[in-house]
Amino acid sequence: MNMLIKFFNRFAPSFLIIAAISFNSFGQANNTEPWKENQLIAPAVLAASISSSRATKPVIFSIGPDAIVKGSIDIGPVQEKENLQKLKEQLSKLPKDAAIVIYCGCCPFAKCPNIRPAFQVLIKMKFTNQKLLNLPKNIKVDWMDKGYPMNE
């Protein structure tokens, strides 16, 4: 029994480290989001782009219930087939390297029924410069409450 306790005391920290690394790698490998971290755009960055007279403006699609962000095109919630088709039609008019930003903001990312189908359409249509507006809580908290540019 003493040998077992000595073995455990000696090697337990190593096992814990290996287990933690393995668990972290497993979680990262199973990321099911269709976007990559570098495909998220911070609200402050998009707001600065919209407000700048010199910046190239991306094409911004609201794929949720309301077009809040200034200059955004109102598609409607893409969880509805007719709105998803409307998004596809709008995208078909753009070059594959167009700067595109999509957003919803109806609810936290984890629960949003609109961002994943819209982003998957961008991937399937082979766009190369798409971003998802990073609204982890919702459009009110992450955009409106900060005073960023809005449609009137």
* pTM > 0.85: yes or no: no
Residue 98 lies in a domain: yes
Task: Say if CB 35 and CB 129 are below 8 A apart.
Answer: no
Share of the chain above pLDDT 70, in %: 80
Q: What per-residue confidence (pLDDT) applies to 101? A: 98
130 and 70, same domain (yes or no): yes
| Residue 66 and residue 140 share a domain | yes
What is the average pLDDT value for the chain, to the nearest integer?
85
pLDDT digits (tens, 9 = 90+) for 132-145: 999 999 999 999 99
44 and 114 both lie in a single domain: yes
Phi-psi region of 147 (alpha: psi -120 to 50; beta: other; left: phi over 0): left
Tell me, what's the pLDDT at 10?
56
20: containing domain: 1-31
Let me know if residue 61 belongs to a domain: yes
DSSP state of 70: T
pLDDT tens, 61-108?
Answer: 999 999 999 999 999 999 999 999 999 999 999 999 999 999 999 998
